[in-house]
Amino acid sequence: MNTVNTIRFDDQVVIVTGAGGGLGREYALLMASRGAKVVVNDLGGNVHGAGDGHGPADKVVAEIEGAGGTAIANYDSVATPEGGGAIVATALQSFGRVDALVHNAGILRDKSFLKLETADIEDVLDVHLKAAFWLCQPAFAAMKEQAYGRFVLTTSASGIFGNFGQANYGAAKTGLIGLMRVLSIEGARYGIRANCVSPSARTRMTEELLGPLAEHLAPEHVAPLVAYLCSRDCDFTSEIISAGGGRFARVFLGLAPGWYGGSEPVSPEGIAGHIEDILSPAGYTIPRTSMDEAEILLDTLNLGELKLPG
């Protein structure tokens, strides 16, 4: 095991949202210990998003400073454009730049689909998904200016693979993948990389869900991956990495070769008759962009000579 700490954040500024506890705290502590100046954002509410307080963010800042690091607390909610702007402004005003942004803040309002009330849907989408826009827009502007940046957005197996009672949360978490993909494409020319972490860890959010797995899933196991994704050393983009309990694994969306029914529209029965071919994952590819899929479609349709826009 390599024990030389070559991955460092000296002169770099990292924002971690929801860093007052759980996973975010570990991310903040690890990157601060590697030289990052950290904006420790946390609203200080409960797991359902109720209440607020300065205590959690202040405590993590004190821990970082106690260990000789540099950090500043921010208590704004990620859920509004003003809050997102103020969080990024804290980094710029206090430390002069923003090198990496980890959007980690989150809440739960688990209910089966028909029981979800309007506020359960809106609040969860606000904190997870819309917040990423309010944070990433001002951060992207600063990163573009300095021609360097790293985004890490937090997705979840509950959305990627699905989980009972988490329609609001799962949809919000999977929406973040779409945002991350487009940030990767639009940010590429400015040295900006964007990736998603899909964590599994014992925190207040999951303590009742994990059962006997909990004792094996310390949040400290996830932090090294997030620190790596935030670092200069990480030059890939548009990936989703599952991290938990010491296992790190790529999650990907593949495109199967499918079935080509010819240039004339097929019947619904034609679909029914070939559904196994359509659903078979054998021989899949992993497109990097929607244009990659369009190129594959051109090949299947024997239209390889056509030029795609863009």
CA–CA separation, 229 and 218 (whole Å)? 19
Out of 169, 190, 228, 260, the active site residue is 169
One of 48, 204, 216, 288 touching ligand NAI (CB under 6 A): 204
User: Are the C-beta atoms of residues 166 and 115 closer than 8 Å to each other?
Assistant: no
Annotation says 148 is catalytic: no
User: Token pair for residue 108?
Assistant: 């739960």
- Taking CB under 6 A as the rule, does residue 41 contact ligand NAI? yes
One of 47, 121, 214, 256 touching ligand NAI (CB under 6 A): 47
CA–CA separation, 270 and 87 (whole Å)? 54
| Complete edge-to-edge strand list for the sheet that includes strand 192-200 | 70-74, 37-41, 13-16, 100-103, 149-154, 192-200, 240-244, 247-251
Which residues does 295 contact at the CB level (< 8 Å), separation at least 6? 308
Residues 276-295 that bind ligand NAI (CB under 6 A): none
Residue in this structure with the two tokens 């954040």, named with its chain if needed: 9
Smallest distance from ligand NAI to CB 282, Å: 30
Stretch that binds ligand NAI, among 20-28, 112-120, 179-187, 226-234 (CB under 6 A): 20-28
One of 79, 86, 180, 194 touching ligand NAI (CB under 6 A): 79
Smallest distance from ligand NAI to CB 59, Å: 11
One of 201, 226, 227, 230 touching ligand NAI (CB under 6 A): 201
Question: Which candidate, 30, 131, 28, places its Cα nearest to that of 88?
Answer: 131
Residues 111-130 that bind ligand NAI (CB under 6 A): 127
Residues 180-199 that bind ligand NAI (CB under 6 A): 199
Smallest distance from ligand NAI to CB 237, Å: 20
Residue in this structure with the two tokens 């699905």, named with its chain if needed: 162
Nearer to ligand NAI, 245 or 258 (CB): 245
Stretch that binds ligand NAI, among 99-107, 177-185, 226-234, 280-288 (CB under 6 A): 99-107
Inter-CA distances, 262 with 73, 275, 292, Å: 60, 15, 21
- Taking CB under 6 A as the rule, does residue 44 contact ligand NAI? yes
Side chain identity at 138, as an amino acid letter?
Answer: P
Residues 53-72 that bind ligand NAI (CB under 6 A): 56
* Residue numbers annotated as active site: 169
